Amino acid sequence: MDDRRGLTGARVLVRRLDATPDLGAVAAAAPGDVVWLDSGLPDGAPDTAHERARLSVLALTDGPFATRFRHEDRRAVVDVPPAAGRWFGTSRTEDRGAFAVLDDLLDRTPVLEAPVPGCDFALGWVGFLGYELGRESGGPDRTADGHADADLRFVDRAVVVHADGRAWALTLVTDDEPAASAANRAWSEQPHAPATRDGAPDATRGLPAAARGRVPRGAYEAAVEACRAEIREGNAFQVCLTTAFAVAPVGREARVAARADRHLDEYLRLRRADPVPFGAYLRLGPLRVASRSPERFLRVDADGTVVAEPIKGTRRRDPDPARDAVVRAGLEASAKDRAENVMIVDLLRNDLLRSAVPGSVHVERLCAVETYASVHQLVSTVSAVLPVGASRAAVVHAAFPPGSMTGAPKSSATAIADRLEGAPRGVYSGVVGYFSADGSVDLSVAIRTLVTVLDERGAERSRSFGAGGAVTWSSVAADEADEVETKTRSVFGALGVTADW
C-alpha cells in the first residue's frame, strides 16, 4: 500500500458470480452513467485476436467514491464526492491541459492490486479521450462540437466477465470510509444478473433513418487528390483523411414510441451483427457512444510492458467463400495497404520510444491479416518496456492521437487533414478504455463509432458517424471513397440506416 496517498486498508472486494450476467441488461438497469467495454469475437476469429477479447467490463458510476473528470472548452472540471476527497481533493475547475490533470489524478488514485488472476482491471478511471486533445501535442487547435473533449470516471463498482463466462462483481472498500464501504459491500451482494435483453423487442425497428455526408462524395475525392498533392510536395508521407455522416435524429413521436434506452438497444443490435474485441457503449451525461472498434491503441501491463496494435488496410468481406478468399489474398498482397501499415508502425515506434526504455521497442508482427464478421484487415503489433514508475498519462500523451488516425509525420499530417476536413472529429479518432488502479491501461481507437449528443430535454441534438482512410501517393480517389462506404456499412447496415453523400 502506498502511504503517500493517505490510505488505510483500501482494497478491491471481489465476489464470484454464480452465472454469467447479461451486461446489456445490467447496463439498462443501472441508475446512472455507465461505461461498457464489450469484448467479443465472431466464430472463426484468428487466434491472435483472442487475447484482445478476453475481458468485458461494465463500469458503474453510482458508487459513493465515483469521481468525474471532464475536459471541456479547454478547462478541466473535477467532481469529487466526499468519500473520495482524501484521494482527489475537492471539486474544482482548472485552467490546465487534460493530460496534466489526468497525470495528477492517476498519481492520487489509490494503488489497488488486480483481484483476479488474468483480470487486469482493478477498478480505476474509465471513459474516453477525444481526438481534439491532440492540440496538447502540437495538433490542430480545435475543441469538440457539443460535448466534452474528454470524460473519464473513477469507478468503484464494476461487473467483469471473462471470455470463458466467469464473472465477478468488483467494488472498492476502505477502512477510512466505513459508511461508503458498507454501501459498496451491500451492492456487491446484489444478484447483478437481471433478465436477459437479447430477446427484447427492438426499439429501432420501424424507425428508419438517413445519414447525410458532411461533404458530397466528389468533394471527398477532391480532398484525397489534395492530400496526394501535399505528399508530392514532401509535406507528408501519409494523411488520414476522414469525413462524417450526420444521422437524422428520430422524431418526437417515434421517440415516445421507443424505449427510453433506445440507444442501448441500437448498440445491442450492432454487437449481435458484428462482434469485435473493442466494442463499447458509453452513457456519459448527454453523450451516447456506440463503438464497434477492432483496434487497440495502447495496452500497458502493470509491470510496464506496453503494446500498440495499429490497423491499416481494410477490405469488405464477400458472402461467397471463394470470392472472399480472393479478397483476403488481395489485401495480403497489396503493396499500397502494406505501405500504409508500415508507415504507421514506424510512427508508433517513434511514439513509444519517447517513453520507453531505449532499445526495448520491437515490432512483434507486421501486416498480419485478421478476419472479422464484416471485414479483413492488416494488423501489426509493436511492443516496448517502460521505465519503473513511468507516468501512464505521459505514455498515452506521447502517442496521442492514435497514429493510425493521423498519418505521418503526425504534426504535418494532422494539419493537412484538419484544413481539408474543416471540422472537429470529437470522440471519433480518439480513444476509449480504462486506466486501472493497478497501473494497467487498455485503450481502443474510437473507429466505427456512432456518437449521439442529447439536449437538456433528452432529445437528440446530433448524431454522427466518422469514417475515412489513409491517403498515400499511390491512393486512387474513387477507391478511398469506396473504403469510406465500406466502413459506414459496418454500423449502418445493422441499424437499417441509409447513407447518402
Q: Where are the beta strands (DSSP E) in 355-409?
A: 362-371, 375-385, 407-408
DSSP secondary structure, 446-487, as one string: --SEEEEEE-TTS-EEEEEEEEEEEE-TT--HHHHHHHHHHH
Cα distance between residue 301 and residue 442, in whole Å: 8
Residue in the block written with cell 495502447: 298
Q: Which amino acid is at 386?
A: L
Q: E strands of 236-301, at which residues?
A: 238-247, 278-284, 287-293, 296-300
CA distances from 309 to 142, 146, 314 (A): 27, 30, 15
**Total residues belonging to the chain:** 501
Burial of 17 (C-beta count, 10 Å sphere; 0-12/13-18/19+): middle
Distance CA 495, CA 498 (A): 9
DSSP assignment letter at 324: H
Catalytic residue among 132, 230, 266, 312: 312
CA–CA separation, 283 vs 281, rounded Å?
A: 7
403 DSSP 8-state letter: G
Phi, psi of 443 (to 5 degrees): -130, 135
Q: Which of 221, 266, 295, 340 is catalytic?
A: 295
Task: Quickly count helices (H) and strands (E) in the chain.
Answer: 12, 25
Handedness of CA 145, 149, 154, 157 (dihedral sign): positive
* Neighbouring-strand partners of residue 93: 77
Is 253 annotated as catalytic? no
CA 367 to chain centre: 22
**Residues 383/306, Cβ–Cβ less than 8 Å:** yes
Is 336 one of the catalytic residues?
A: no
CA–CA dist 255, 260 (Å, integer): 8
What b/e string do you get for 443-469 counting C-beta neighbours within 10 Å, with b at 16 or more?
A: bbbbbbbbbbbbeeeeebebbbbbbbb
- Positions marked catalytic: 295, 312
